[in-house]
A and B are shown apart, each in its own frame.
Chain A
Amino acid sequence: MSTRASGRTVGGLRTLSLQAPAVGLLLMWMLIPLVMTLWFSFQRYNLLMPSVSGFAGVDNYYYLLTDPSLWTAMGNTLLLVGWVLVATVVGGTLLAVLLQQEFFGRGVARLFVIAPFFIMPTVSALVWKNMMMHPVNGIFAWIASLFGLPAIDWFASLPLTSVIIIVTWQWLPFAVLILLTAIQSLDDDQVEAARMDGAGPLAIFFYITLPHLKRAISVVVMIEMIFLLTIFAEIFVTTSGGPGLATTNLAYLIYIRALLDFDVGGASAGGVIAIILANIVAFFLVRTVAKNLEN
């Protein structure tokens, strides 16, 4: 008994020393900026008005929480994350099933489909904005003109949809990559047996393929959620959050406050709210998905 107990203490010490660098660094990474952000959020601190300073109490929070733009930004964040998740999971599953079939040039076609994942967000946003969705010289405008349709000014009339399309294009390959690997591990005998029993392709998809992909889909949702909640470059390059607030998500709203209005206090209050939100999402989502993975 005593050796086991001492073994556990030694194990505890080893755990501590082995984990210390990673945990310590991440703690610092979180806590130091967090404490500073918290401190700033209670200050009157605007870089354009250095004379106005001092303790602001909860004024920054009051202004922010009563400002309708915060709620617009939160709504946009949810719409962006939600639609991209739906599009990439549904599209990714269908594409994975398609790319799993035998056809000519399968290897190269797969490389083409996953390519967008490796492209810098800034570059893909620039290419989409200038060459695909440009209302005069873009490819979409040209295709519309072939059918005698008027060109759509994408970023003026459908700003959030345009951003969603670009982000979906970037993340669809990621979903395909993961789901394709998952499908490849599907048991062929099981599918064959189901077919012998008279199951159609749809039944096989819904009763065999989809349940098999459950864990992989969880992974896609979790990873994408982490990155989609903080989308920035795509909005910065294409619409700068506009027109109005149409494409301003939470990350971009804080950026506007901090770097364009020079309102350090207000931006910090926004940062604190974003951090709280991130933790709420992390708590529920990560926990659910992680449980899904454990089983």
Chain B
Amino acid sequence: MMTSSTNSVAAASMAVNASRARRSVLNRKLVLTLVAWTIALMMFFPIFWMFLTSFKTEAEAISTPPSLFFTPSIDGYIEIQARADYFKYALNSVVISLGATLLALLIAIPSAYSMAFLPTKRTQTTLLWMLSTKMLPSVGVLLPVYLIFRDLGLLDSRTGLIIIYMLMNLPIVVWMLYTFFKDIPKDILEAGRMDGASTLQEIFHLLLPLTLPGIASTGLLCVILSWNEAFWSLNLTTSNAAPLTAYIASFSSPEGLFWAKLSAASTLAVAPILIFGWMTQKQMVRGLTFGAVK
């Protein structure tokens, strides 16, 4: 009797403990949810607010206290589209970002290949030197580049910006590809060479398929950096080749007070790359870490 009752007491207390433990796990999860979501919403708030403001009238946009509930209207979007054709700028952004990315990959792949598989004493130095070229402020070389572009007829042309963005991103692209290629065992390429594959065949039939995820993430980062670049696009284009960064600038100075329209233009300019970034973030982060995270 005694033992069985102690047993049942022990069992009951164990059950209580277990349910208490489960409840404390749940509590912990609820607290974490609260804290994490508060921070996440704070980080996202400026973007959310910009999106919301783009559907307000100008009066609602600057009202204090801020209006959270209002009748959404797309007048802002219609007005800015009447002023400047969004699709022309968006097309320029797409062509320039993709063009610069493809060109950079094309030039960087052979270089990264030789650094990874045929390293010399100078390989590290070359890599570091390449990265150091990225630390120069663009303004320092703006005038010479402007003069050269004027003489070559590259001002306000997509080709011109493609070349600049390719050069701008080349160091990072080479470095990222190098870290991916370094992870590929040399033996695999060796085997290909034994079978009589040329360097180009080696690259195209063996190396690229093996490192496709890495190449993809490098390309994705390159597209995002090109899309968001503002300095060169503002200084080297006027209308024909102007991408979305210039589109925004055209609304920012005289329209500073028209927040609804400015928000509509901003939303249009960032929406494609934000959605693109969200869809590809898992893929992209693998490249961003430069093989440092294993």
Contact = CB atoms under 8 A, between A and B. Distances in A.
B194 interface: no
5 contacts: A111-B281, A112-B43, A124-B46, A139-B45, A254-B139
Interface stretch (A19-27, A56-64, A156-164): A19-27
B82 interface: no
Contact of A98 (B39, B274, B292): B39
Given A22-B170, A282-B132, A283-B132, 14 more contacts: A34-B141, A113-B43, A115-B278, A116-B44, A119-B47, A121-B228, A123-B50, A130-B256, A177-B281, A216-B293, A219-B290, A230-B137, A254-B137, A290-B124
B154 interface: no
Given A169-B43, A233-B231, A271 B49 contact: no
A281 B135 CA distance: 9
Interface string A230-264: 10110001000000000000111011001100001
Interface string B130-144: 111111111111111
Contacts of B244: 120
Contact count band on B: 35 or more
Contact of A122 (B135, B171, B252): B252
A279 interface: yes
Interface string B116-151: 001010001011101111111111111111011000
B36 A25 contact: no
Contact count band on A: 35 or more
Interface of A: 11-12, 14-15, 18-19, 21-23, 25-26, 29-30, 32-34, 36-37, 40, 95, 98-99, 101-106, 109-124, 126-128, 130-132, 136-137, 139, 141-142, 145, 169, 172-174, 177-178, 180-182, 185, 215-216, 218-219, 222-223, 225-226, 229-230, 232-233, 237, 250-252, 254-255, 258-259, 264, 267-268, 270-272, 274-275, 278-279, 281-283, 286-287, 290, 293
A95 B38 CA distance: 12
Contact of A178 (B64, B142, B285): B285
For the residues of B in contact with A, the DSSP-based class is helix
Interface of B: 29, 32-33, 35-37, 39-41, 43-47, 49-50, 53, 62-66, 107-108, 110-111, 113-115, 118, 120, 124, 126-128, 130-145, 147-148, 167, 170-171, 174, 199, 224, 227-228, 230-231, 244-245, 248-249, 252, 256, 259, 262-263, 266, 269-270, 273-274, 276-278, 281, 285-286, 288-290, 292-294
